[in-house]
Amino acid sequence: MVPVGVLPDGQMEVPRDTDAVGWYRPGANPGDRGNAVMAGHVDSKTGPAVFYKLNKLKKGDIILIRLNGGFTRAFSVKKAVIYRRDRAPMEQIFGPTGDVNLNLITCTGTFDKTKGTHQERLVIYAGLKAAHEIKNRVPPL
């Protein structure tokens, strides 16, 4: 996991390494109040990337995030939504909230060669779970 920021065009930066997950540093820390946002590539020119199986997550699945210092935070998937690249609800994904959320983003849909990106975005919305609430674990993505 690597910290990322904002590109000159206002979009969230993503890691160059297709096996790395980018954590949106201007947003919340995972496990803190707010929307912690992470993005990763779905694929690369050579094959699957870090979020290749992100579309397999479903409501109730558990996502474990290991933080510096060895702390682990567990999040439960609330929903998965696909948006057109230019119509994602930025305020809902990145905006302030009183809840403790984790939002994971990757590309999906058809790759547009002229724009150099996929036409859609998959967003996984998840909320913090207490340790005693975890009944099942999801294999690593």
Say which CATH number the domain at 64 has: 2.40.260.10
Does 140 reside within a domain? no
Supply 82's token pair: 């696909």
Supply 3's token pair: 């910290």
Does 137 reside within a domain? no
**Residues forming beta bridges with residue 126, ordered by sequence position:** 77, 102
Tens digit of pLDDT at every position of the chain (141 positions) = 899 999 998 889 999 999 999 999 999 999 999 999 999 999 988 999 999 999 999 999 999 998 877 778 999 999 999 999 889 999 999 999 999 999 999 999 888 888 878 889 999 999 999 655 655 555 454
Does 138 reside within a domain? no
Does 139 reside within a domain? no
- pLDDT value of position 133: 62
Cα 128 to chain centroid distance, Å, stands at 14
- pLDDT value of position 11: 86
Does 112 reside within a domain? yes
| Backbone phi and psi for residue 9, each to the nearest 5 degrees, phi listed first | -85, 5
- pLDDT value of position 101: 98
Does 27 reside within a domain? yes
CA–CA separation, 10 and 5 (whole Å): 9
- pLDDT value of position 141: 47
Tell me how crowded residue 62 is: count the other CB atoms within 10 A of its CB.
17
- pLDDT value of position 125: 98
Whole-structure pTM value: 0.88
- pLDDT value of position 75: 96
CB of 108 closer than 8 Å to CB of 57: no
Q: Please enumerate in sequence order all residues whose Cβ is within 8 A of that of 1, keeping only pairs 6 or more positions apart, or say none.
A: 20, 21, 22, 23, 38
Cα 40 to chain centroid distance, Å, stands at 7
Residues with active-site annotation: 41, 107
Q: Which domain holds residue 62?
A: 2-132
Supply 28's token pair: 């919340």
* Amino acid (one-letter) located at 42: V
- The pairing of beta strand 34-39 with beta strand 22-24: antiparallel
CA–CA separation, 39 and 119 (whole Å): 16
